[in-house]
Chains A and B, each alone.
Chain A
Amino acid sequence: KNEVEQSPQNLTAQEGEFITINCSYSVGISALHWLQQHPGGGIVSLFMLSSGKKKHGRLIATINIQEKHSSLHITASHPRDSAVYICAVSPMNYGGSQGNLIFGKGTKLSVKP
């Protein structure tokens, strides 16, 4: 069983829809990261969470430490949101080091106009 599981693997939405991507993990963590990867490879960090909820523009990320679960929401989705969204965790047993990450397999999102 992977230590970080994401669902769904693939997601197709119509422009304007509300989108949710889920991430479950099985290890103790010091932080959870949501990353966005566009074709071509570059990765952008969207959020780093250790508790609660964060919002940036149309993106909202939540985390429930007790349930070992996080969600990424996109409101009013747009074709430019099409990308792969990756959940990654910083395991607690590495001294809180943020760079030591365990990655999920990613969710490929396609938003149609």
Chain B
Amino acid sequence: KAGVTQTPRYLIKTRGQQVTLSCSPISGHRSVSWYQQTPGQGLQFLFEYFSETQRNKGNFPGRFSGRQFSNSRSEMNVSTLELGDSALYLCASSPTSFTGELFFGEGSRLTVL
């Protein structure tokens, strides 16, 4: 069974640009969550999707958005990039939103110059 796949793995952007990151969950998993990891703040919850609906959102500005498609693949978008958005962005999938362990992808490492 294939694991959680995140693309791209590495990317470099400049301030003011926007970026879209993709997460393909394990087959059959309907819940996808996104997290940001920085050296200063550690891991922080961004948002969670289940069956194409956003269930929860973390404390991030509106520049951070996401969506989930009918095949459970999810994307997150960050607009008007700032230097502080440089981070490792991780997604995790689980069978449902309420039960089961989380399976994490390898992450997308974003550098904003």
Contacts and interface: CB of A to CB of B under 8 A. Distances in A.
A35 B33 CA distance: 15
Interface residues of B, number: 29
B48 A42 contact: no
Contacts, number: 72
Contacts of A88: 43
B104 interface: yes
Interface in A55-101: 86, 88, 94-101
B49 to A, nearest CB: 8
Interface residues of A, number: 24
B90 A97 contact: no
A100 B46 CA distance: 8
B100 interface: yes
A106 to B, nearest CB: 7
Nearest to B107: A41
A104 B37 CA distance: 12
Name, among A40, A41, A45, A86, the residue most crowded by chain B CB atoms within 10 Å (CB to CB).
A41
Interface of B: 31-33, 35, 37, 42-45, 48, 55-56, 58, 88, 90, 92, 94, 97-107, 109
